[in-house]
Chains A and B, each alone.
Chain A
Amino acid sequence: QKEVEQNSGPLSVPEGAIASLNCTYSDRGSQSFFWYRQYSGKSPELIMSIYSNGDKEDGRFTAQLNKASQYVSLLIRDSQPSDSATYLCAVRGSSASKIIFGSGTRLSIRP
Chain B
Amino acid sequence: EAQVTQNPRYLITVTGKKLTVTCSQNMNHEYMSWYRQDPGLGLRQIYYSMNVEVTDKGDVPEGYKVSRKEKRNFPLILESPSPNQTSLYFCASSQEPGANSPLHFGNGTRLTVT
Contact = CB atoms under 8 A, between A and B. Distances in A.
A51 B100 contact: yes
A60 interface: no
Interface stretch (B14-22, B37-45, B79-87): B37-45
Interface string A58-101: 00000000000000000000000000000010100000111111
Contacts, number: 55
Contact of B106 (A43, A90, A104): A43
B51 to A, nearest CB: 11
A17 interface: no
A8 B41 CA distance: 10
A55 to B, nearest CB: 17
Place the interface of chain B in its size category. 20 to 34
Interface residues of A, number: 23
A96 B40 CA distance: 25
B97 A101 contact: no
A49 B95 CA distance: 14
B102 A96 contact: no
A101 B98 CA distance: 17
B48 A98 contact: yes
